[in-house]
Amino acid sequence: MTKILIIEDEKNLARFVELELQYEGYETKVCPDGRSGLDSAIAEEWDAVLLDLMLPELNGLEVCRRIRQIKKTLPIIMLTARDNVLDRVSGLDSGADDYIIKPFAIEELLARLRSIFRRMERLSSDDLTVLAFKELTIELESCIVKKGERVIALTKREFDLLVVFMSNINIVLTREVLLDKVWGYNTGVETNVVDVYVRYLRNKIDEQNETSYIQTVRGTGYVMR
């Protein structure tokens, strides 16, 4: 049975989400604060985590960062009432896979979960273990990125975006396609977030005075070549 951890301090919302997920056949557990949620996320096996941003004891961004240090691929969806672009970027940059704004319809949350589980299935069915292009290599199973012998530290979102580019060398990818492949079709994230993460990647993989690995195709999107 698919297990989902709910880290949420609003009792009524947590109970509502828990009951709806159980009705859909998921096994659930609720933690009412960041500290106990972090402990449970790390100590137990979960298929996904629903994580509130504003939590007592330890806020959601910090919980997400610490989970991601230990569990690189555990899907995390952030739940929050804060909906400006900077807040979304902060949540995603901390390692979240998706971001859903309160109040939300349970149907939307269920769709986001299904989208994430489909992406996880596609990744697990991929026989490739290493991607390589020029000096860049990605070890998919260990989530290690290298340029030559230098290891490059990437967030989970940056890593996923780089995998998409290196799986589609010389193919122009629109912002909408990148958004679908990395964040999921049903996500509420706007396309300008793609630009933010491309800039993050360029800052980490490009050397000064060299042509960028990821090139802008004006009016369309991006291409790695």
Cα separation, 80 vs 109, in Å, equals 12
Tell me what pLDDT residue 122 has: 61
Tell me what pLDDT residue 219 has: 86
- Where do the H-state alpha helices sit in the chain? 11-23, 34-43, 60-70, 85-93, 106-124, 156-166, 175-178, 192-205
Interior angle at CA 171, CA 170 and CA 175, nearest 5: 130
Q: Which of 16, 79, 6 is nearest to 46 (CA)?
A: 6
Give the Cβ contact number of residue 25 at 10 Å. 8
Distance from the first to the final alpha carbon of the chain: 42
Give the Cβ contact number of residue 22 at 10 Å. 12
Task: Spell out the domains of the chain, with CATH numbers in brackets.
Answer: 3-124 (3.40.50.2300), 130-224 (1.10.10.10)
List the chain pLDDT tens, one digit each, 225 residues: 899 999 999 999 999 999 999 999 999 999 999 999 999 999 999 999 999 999 999 999 999 999 988 887 889 999 988 766 666 667 677 778 888 888 889 998 998 898 888 777 765 555 558 888 888 989 887 788 998 888 999 988 899 999 999 988 888 999 988 988 888 755 566 778 899 999 999 999 998 888 899 999 988 899 998
**167 Cβ contact partners less than 8 Å away, ≥ 6 residues apart:** 131
